[in-house]
Amino acid sequence: MKAIFLGATKGMGRALSRLIARRGDELFLLGRDREDLDKSCADLAADGTRPAGTAPCDLADPRTFAPALDQAILTLGGRVDAVIVTAGLFATQDALESNPELCRSVLDVDFTGTVLFCEEARKRLIAQGGGTLCVFSSVAGERGRKPVVLYGAAKAGLSHYLEGLDHRYRAEGLHVVTVKPGFVKTGLTAGLKPPPFAGEPEDVAARVLKAIDRKQPVVYAPAAWGPIMAVIRSLPRFVMRRVGF
């Protein structure tokens, strides 16, 4: 597989890119910090395969999207099998409510920036005859919930967009893989109390890579979050109001 990867520098992105590099697939890394990208390239080279290159891409700056994708596709020989987006921001509900600037930034990066990046990616994938677009959303987008009102709203919008893309462009060869992680132990959740079904990035990565290979439209990770969210989705509103979840 030849893949463009945005978000390989940390957390689940780092674990997933390692798995991909280990099996000898070719990656091109996008990210907002040149030093972090160089360090990730060195790590991946030690693990398996050195990425073909890197380019600056910041989800907060849509002007970076087209040049980064074009450079990646050119470097990978004019055709890619997948574009993978694990990049994203998180802050607690309390932090977001008390800091409008932080709130704007999380909403911008997790919804507007990610959607605009995906638009540039899907145009290029369809122009070459098809490919896979794998994007990390969240179980936080499944229902309006007290602890994640704002972050969840951005992820709900993103999941909705990705489902629409799947319906609209599947016949043209676009395969959308929407990843909905539950709580996973990464830097993003550092300092939060892990719930009983908290997952490890390496386990999520293995599950997501299988989903990419199978072109599975939606994947919950860890697996336990699939049935948990099926229950949450079915709860009546008056029950949701009473529970802290």
Ligand X SMILES: NC(=O)c1ccc[n+]([C@@H]2O[C@H](COP(=O)([O-])OP(=O)(O)OC[C@H]3O[C@@H](n4cnc5c(N)ncnc54)[C@H](OP(=O)(O)O)[C@@H]3O)[C@@H](O)[C@H]2O)c1
Chain residues binding ligand X by CB under 6 A are 7, 9-13, 31-33, 36, 58-60, 86-90, 109, 136, 138, 181, 183-184, 186-189
Angle, helix 149-169 to helix 100-107, in steps of 10 degrees: 20
Least gap, CB of 229 to ligand X (angstroms): 11
- CA 156 to mean position of chain CA atoms: 13
CB of 171 to ligand X, least distance (A): 28
Nearer to ligand X, 9 or 71 (CB): 9
CB of 146 to ligand X, least distance (A): 16
Kindly state the smallest distance separating residue 150's Cβ from ligand X, in Å.
Answer: 13
| Total residue length of the chain | 245
The Cβ-side half-sphere exposure at 213, using a 13 Å CA radius, reads 11
Rounded least distance, CB 184 to ligand X, Å: 4
Name 2's bridge partners.
Answer: 26
Residues with Cβ within 8 Å of residue 126, at least 6 apart in sequence = 169, 172, 173, 174
Q: How far is the CB of 77 from ligand X (least distance, A)?
A: 24
Burial profile 15-44: b = 16 or more Cβ within 10 angstroms, e = fewer: bbbbbbbeeebbbbbbbbeeeebeebbebb
Closer residue to ligand X (CB): 33 or 97: 33
Q: Measured from the CB atom, is 120 or 173 closer to ligand X?
A: 120
SS3 49: coil
Q: What is the CA radius of gyration of the chain?
A: 17
